[in-house]
Amino acid sequence: TSTLLTADAQPFAFEFDVARTALVIIDMQRDFIEPGGFGETLGNDVSLLAAIVPACQAMLAGWRRAGGLVIHTREAHRPDLADCPPAKRNRGNPTLRIGDEGPMGRILVMGEPGNQIIDALAPVEGEIVIDKPGKGAFYATGLQSMLQQRGIARLLFAGVTTEVCVQTSMREANDRGYDCLLLEDCTESYFPRFKAATLEMVRAQGGIVGWTAPSTALLGALE
């Protein structure tokens, strides 16, 4: 509907209409959430991230009920890794590099078991799935034209990790003129202090990157 709704948010109320707003769920793929994937090979405790799944499920269910557009992203590379810069593949000293064979198939490669969105948040018919080779969802993807074709002006962000792919995507969107809101309980980092800092930096200076709010504030506005 084109009715303007209002959600309690920081630094001030967020106005949105379902018809021109999309829920963007960033990289809730097995690689980051389950043991044996890319996240764990970088030395992270993946159980921290799994904790947001129930809140993401509730938000997704409410947004679907309201008839809103849902976009899922996956950090995913071509099997030949032509879209993976060596700088990305070689940085740090991961036990498994992008493209290597891991317990859930080749790390961060399209089509592999580890690259699938977790069952609890699996896309359904009519939802858009974006495979992105970078951290941001706009870089080298068709996301912007898909949003433009549908008249989307506002984005609600969920997913992982808060300060990497979520924040990068949100900043890309903000520079492209979208009003962006980060769903506080639907995002997580392997470093809790980075999540806290990201929420603060997004909404500082009058919402320099956008808004933040708990998912219940958005869901409440939909009722």
| Range list of H helices, the chain | 30-33, 38-41, 47-50, 53-66, 86-90, 143-149, 167-175, 192-207, 215-222
Beta carbon of residue 55, minimum distance to ligand C5J (angstroms, whole number)? 17
75, 112, 184, 188: residue in contact with ligand C5J (rule CB under 6 A): 75
Stretch that binds ligand C5J, among 5-13, 139-147, 157-165, 205-213 (CB under 6 A): 157-165
User: What letter does residue 103 receive in the DSSP assignment?
Assistant: B
Beta carbon of residue 168, minimum distance to ligand C5J (angstroms, whole number)? 8
Question: Which residue sits closest to ligand C5J, CB atoms considered?
Answer: 165
| Residue type for position 197 | A
Q: Does 165 bind ligand C5J (CB under 6 A)?
A: yes
Beta carbon of residue 173, minimum distance to ligand C5J (angstroms, whole number)? 15
Interior angle at CA 186, CA 192 and CA 64, nearest 5: 170
48, 164, 183, 202: residue in contact with ligand C5J (rule CB under 6 A): 164
Nearer CB in complex with ligand C5J: 10/161? 161
SS3 of residue 99 by DSSP: coil
Cα→Cα distances 118→144, 149, 209, Å: 25, 28, 28
Which chain residues interact with ligand C5J by CB under 6 A?
A: 27, 32, 75, 135, 160-161, 164-165
